[in-house]
Amino acid sequence: MSSGEGRHARQLLIPDWDQSRISAATIVLAGMGALGNEVAKNLALLGVGRLVVCDRDTVATSNLSRSVLFAPDDVGAPKAVAAARALGRLAPSTAVSARVGELSNAVGVGELADADAVLGCLDSRHARLSLLGRCARAGAPLIDGGTHPWGGEVRVRLSPDEACYCCSLTPGQRAEADAPLSCDPAGAPQPASIISTALVAGWMTTAATQLLLGRPVGWRFLQIEALSGRTAPITVRRDDGCRFHQRPDSVDQLELGGSATVRELLDTLPEDSEPLVWTMFPVPGICYHCGHESVPANIRGGSLVSCPNCREIVHLDLTQRLREAPPDATLSELGVAPEEIIPVRSSSGGYRWLRIAA
Ligand SMILES: [Zn+2]
Ligand SMILES: [Zn+2]
């Protein structure tokens, strides 16, 4: 018996358990807050082979009461990095890749497509819908969790034919999600404790494990109510107006790394094609205070810059058009994630999908 088998001896006794499927699996975790911590801990202890953990934030003191992977020394460190460090001690055979940044800049759609499951541990509707859109594009199985003070919800999306999280929202809620705010418009902290975090994480891990073992997941939307002791699946009807039910398009592979430049990418494409990226970047513009004609853009610096001539603040235009980017900028400088899949519009108006492989 190898040490790996010794470590998992008890779960190997579970009827029809197949540890080889678990240890061969890759799971992407979006969000390394309290819920992400708890889910990552469970998956690593189960012996999942590889975890990609993504979060843009740093550890705060208020995270410590709900986050098993963070210690007081981690305050101020990127959550993804601190979590990867703790997971390395907890389960050395699990390979962990830490990604610091927004999911759309840090984990490419191609990586989501390659993963055995994607677990959403996010705390805003906007971030959830963005993850749902990327998983729909990738055709990736998505298990999304959310907590409330005494329970929460888990939503499983395995096929474009099934109802999704967005189907469960009212038109007003969908429109609200376009504004960059969290569940609480006032920005006040949401009430939360490790209790609902652990409950929801347990159900998310159960669904993920069933997927990894190649077994059906018996529910799609689960409501967890700790105080009444009631936890049950609910039915959500598919909304014909929901935009997340397209089938993934076929994708062409392009062997360029993240260190490739815009010019290198454009050189592979017809001149009249229009390649686009998922996140906007600023383009040089004219100063509307003094008329200075070439206010330079810092591609990672946002749209507000100081005019080099009059020093006034200028609001530059943002674009997703790669042809407007500095030719020598690298794709990763522009925020293109590793293994990203980008749309390329042809002169006839049709789209082709291109995976930029490392
Ligand atoms: Zn839907
Ligand atoms: Zn100026």
State the pLDDT at residue 187. Answer: 57
Is residue 56 within 8 Å of 100, Cβ to Cβ?
A: yes
Rounded Cα distance, 241 and 267, in Å = 39
Whether the pLDDT of residue 56 is over 70: the answer is yes
Question: For residue 106, what are its two tokens?
Answer: 């840090």
In a domain, 243, yes or no: no
| Ligand nearest to the Cα of 305, by number | 2
| Ligand nearest to the Cα of 289, by number | 2
Clarify whether residues 314 and 284 are in a common domain. Answer: yes
Owning domain of residue 8? 3-234
Clarify whether residues 284 and 348 are in a common domain. Answer: yes
Give which of 280, 290, 330, 334 is closest to 311, Cα–Cα. 290
Clarify whether residues 77 and 190 are in a common domain. Answer: yes
Cα of 241 vs centre of ligand 1, distance in Å, is 8
Lowest mean pLDDT, pick from 91-95, 183-187, 235-239, 330-334: 183-187
Clarify whether residues 281 and 230 are in a common domain. Answer: no
Asked which of 205, 234, 263 is the last residue of a domain, the reply is: 234
The 10s digit of each residue's pLDDT in 212-253 is 999 999 999 999 999 999 999 999 999 999 999 998 889 999
Clarify whether residues 96 and 148 are in a common domain. Answer: yes
State the pLDDT at residue 1. Answer: 46
| Ligand nearest to the Cα of 310, by number | 2
If you search the block for the tokens 């389960």, which residue do you land on?
91
In a domain, 192, yes or no: yes
Cα of 140 vs centre of ligand 1, distance in Å, is 14
Rounded Cα distance, 109 and 339, in Å = 7
In a domain, 244, yes or no: no
Q: Is 159 helix (H, G, I), strand (E, B) or coil?
A: coil
Clarify whether residues 220 and 262 are in a common domain. Answer: no
Cα of 297 vs centre of ligand 2, distance in Å, is 14
Clarify whether residues 176 and 267 are in a common domain. Answer: no
161-to-171, 229, 242, 286, 297 alpha-carbon distances in Å: 20, 31, 11, 48, 43
Question: For residue 158, what are its two tokens?
Answer: 């395995």
Q: Which CATH number does the domain housing residue 110 bear?
A: 3.40.50.720
Confidence at 258, pLDDT banded by 50, 70, 90:
low
Cα of 312 vs centre of ligand 2, distance in Å, is 6
Q: Is 230 helix (H, G, I), strand (E, B) or coil?
A: strand
Clarify whether residues 222 and 341 are in a common domain. Answer: no
Clarify whether residues 7 and 85 are in a common domain. Answer: yes
The 10s digit of each residue's pLDDT in 320-351 is 999 999 999 999 888 899 999 999 999 998 99
If you search the block for the tokens 């540890």, which residue do you land on?
19
Question: For residue 291, what are its two tokens?
Answer: 């008329």
Contacts of 313 (CB under 8 A, 6+ apart): 304, 305, 306, 307
In a domain, 29, yes or no: yes
Cα of 256 vs centre of ligand 1, distance in Å, is 33
| Ligand nearest to the Cα of 174, by number | 1
Cα of 165 vs centre of ligand 1, distance in Å, is 6
Q: Is 276 helix (H, G, I), strand (E, B) or coil?
A: strand
Cα of 126 vs centre of ligand 1, distance in Å, is 15
Cα of 309 vs centre of ligand 2, distance in Å, is 5
| Ligand nearest to the Cα of 291, by number | 2
Clarify whether residues 48 and 177 are in a common domain. Answer: yes
- Per-residue pLDDT, averaged over 278-293, amounts to 93
Rounded Cα distance, 56 and 273, in Å = 33
The 10s digit of each residue's pLDDT in 349-358 is 899 999 998 6
Clarify whether residues 313 and 215 are in a common domain. Answer: no
What is the total count of domains within the chain? Answer: 2
State the pLDDT at residue 83. Answer: 98
The 10s digit of each residue's pLDDT in 18-37 is 999 999 999 999 999 999 99
Clarify whether residues 123 and 193 are in a common domain. Answer: yes
In a domain, 241, yes or no: no
